Amino acid sequence: MPVDDLWYLAHEADQHGQQMYHELRERHDDPMEVTRTRYVSRRRFRTLAERTNETGAPYGAHTIVYRPDGSLLLVRHEGVDLWVLPGGGVDDAENYREAAERELAEEAGIEASYDGLAILTKLRLVSGEQSMCAVLPVYAAQAETTETEIADPDDEISKAGWFHHLPDDTRDREDLVAWRRQQFS
């Protein structure tokens, strides 16, 4: 019976994901913490494990961009058919915040002043008997400009807009509502 290299990959990714989670907790003051479990196919799990091994964050880094009136910026991601926060993968020489800033520029063209880590999500990714830990860092930034301009090189983002009432088809809507309530009440 051949040895399944996915077990080893998942183990390595889990170690890196745990390490990045603890580093982010130590480096940032009191972000809102969330724990999520996502079940994925074996093929998707392998891809996410490879990304986690590289950066600790399989879905990259994201930004909650807000205006003083409490409205939030969302982008329409056609690949998942949802409104989402701007964000994405971490490139080789980037840290999480730099990746979040670059993704914001690409997906919405907004300039913003970054406040720090808003939400630290600890992800448990599961496929069959394999599982691993990873992180999803979400930074907060106040908008300095509000006109959107999409320049997404991946051509996944079709719209960008400001919302007082988040659409029902917003990914992680409950977390965003809870964060906004904390910030603006």
> Residue ranges per domain, the chain?
5-184
Mean pLDDT of 159-178: 96
Q: From the options 3.40.30.10, 3.20.20.70, 3.40.50.2300, 3.90.79.10, give the CATH code of 5-184.
A: 3.90.79.10
The label of the residue with tokens 């691993």 reads: 132
Shortest CA distance to 123 belongs to which of 134, 108, 109? 134
Q: Quick one: tokens of 130?
A: 């394999």
DSSP-assigned beta bridge partners for residue 163? 72
- The reported pTM is 0.94
pLDDT tens by residue, 43-96: 999 999 999 999 999 999 999 999 999 999 999 999 999 999 999 999 989 999
pLDDT for 185 equals: 80
Structural contact between residues 33 and 122, judged by C-beta atoms closer than 8 angstroms: yes
